[in-house]
Amino acid sequence: MIKEISIENYKSIQELKIELGRVTVLIGENGCGKTNILEAIALSSAAASDKLDNEFLVSRGIRVTEPQFMRSAFNIDNLNKEIKISLQFQPDKIITYNLQHDGKPYSSWFSSILSNQEILVQMPSMSSGYANLMYEDARNLKEIFSEEIYQGVLKVLLETDKDILNLKSFLIFSPQNSSLRIFNEEGQIQPLGIEGEGLFKLLTVLNLEANQGKLQEIKEKMQLIDWFEDLAIPHNLSPAERVIQIKDKYLASELDYFNQNSSNEGFLFLLFYFCLFISDDTPKFFAVDNIDASLNPRLGRRLIKELVELAKKYDRQVIFTTHNPAILDGLNLDDDEQRLFVIYRNKLGYTKARRIFTPKPLEGQEPVRLSEAFLRGYIGGLPKNF
């Protein structure tokens, strides 16, 4: 898992460092930079995959603008500086991506990599076939080989690195009711696109005999919806049809199942989240922007508790953003794997983050819920102008 991320010169982020948990929640007022933090991670994911063209950035959930506005525009000198994103996986394992753009029309971003790992380098030798060299620090390669060779070696070595493979699959999910309701086909990213594309095909995969246990677990989790009884995928669908059958336990047993077009938004969002967390084919590391969308506050609180358990069970690392204080009550901040950060902008406009711990009650008083502490302004993150 990623233990810490450092970001420099990205949109509203001049310089920022956050220590992530297995489940990290970001809360703060509109425009404070929550999504910018997610985008910076997605940008490092694109750099790790060597896919920095705009169409790849957009498909990961990045809001692409002109190059100068992708950088921090607080200082005119920043407009030509590189964007730097460092990811610490372990104390002795840090990967840094330095991203630059030449500002020319139709140009793409390009990146260079820096690593502090101990690595075994196999390089062609002029005198003999290959020479095995051990370096305490990958940067030592620069003292011997050209920058081009150094970058090539790092890219090859990182191709099979488990942590980097997880980083490469990072996406910012922001499911949309329209995509979920009509079951949009898979897009550029599979199995699930950032707006929920591909959910029907993923359900058909989960419906295979080998995956019935996971589909059953999804059905059990869907019991959070009071009226839900069952769902099924019809066997007689034409290749162009994308329909699931849903059973409402309050309706007469003689009535047919209805399909996703007649279900409410909350049902579709929960179905998406549980498939995302339980399937073996979905990313190990991802973010969900506005996890509270279309959810009743109490349902949102319970959902977070369920997703925390699923993240532990299926070894996921996830970042949520939210504006709904009820979401915070689904967290247990006494568990170090669950972390909450208030995101805000300081007097200079820079995005900053402050980790929040379990509030300690005053002597003789009952503990204050996180939602209440947030709404009372105890932990910050609220608009200051009203």
Check: pTM over 0.85? Answer yes or no.
yes
Residues 6+ away with beta carbon under 8 Å from 40: 5, 7, 10, 11, 13, 83, 85
Beta strands in 158-244, from DSSP E residues, in sequence order: 172-173, 228-232
The whole-angstrom separation of Cα 19 and Cα 181 is 36
Q: Where do you find CATH 3.40.50.300 in the chain?
A: 1-111+163-171+284-386
Residue with tokens 């525009």: 73
The pLDDT value recorded for residue 120 is 37
Architecture of domain 1-111+163-171+284-386: 3-Layer(aba) Sandwich (3.40)
What number of other Cβ atoms are within 10 A of residue 329's Cβ? 20
Report whether 95 contacts 113 (CB < 8 A): yes
pLDDT of the chain, 386 residues: tens digit per residue: 999 999 999 999 999 999 999 999 999 999 999 999 999 999 999 999 999 999 999 999 999 999 888 999 888 877 889 999 999 998 778 899 999 998 888 889 998 888 775 443 333 433 333 333 333 444 555 566 666 766 666 666 666 788 989 999 999 999 999 999 988 888 888 999 999 999 999 999 999 999 999 999 999 999 999 999 999 998 888 888 899 999 999 988 777 788 898 889 999 999 999 999 999 999 999 999 999 999 999 999 999 999 999 999 999 999 999 999 999 999 999 999 999 999 999 999 999 999 999 887 767 777 889 999 999 888 988 887 66
> Torsion over CA of 182, 184, 190 and 193, rounded to 10 degrees?
-80
Report whether 342 contacts 383 (CB < 8 A): no
> Before 191, cis peptide (omega within 30)?
yes
The pLDDT value recorded for residue 371 is 94
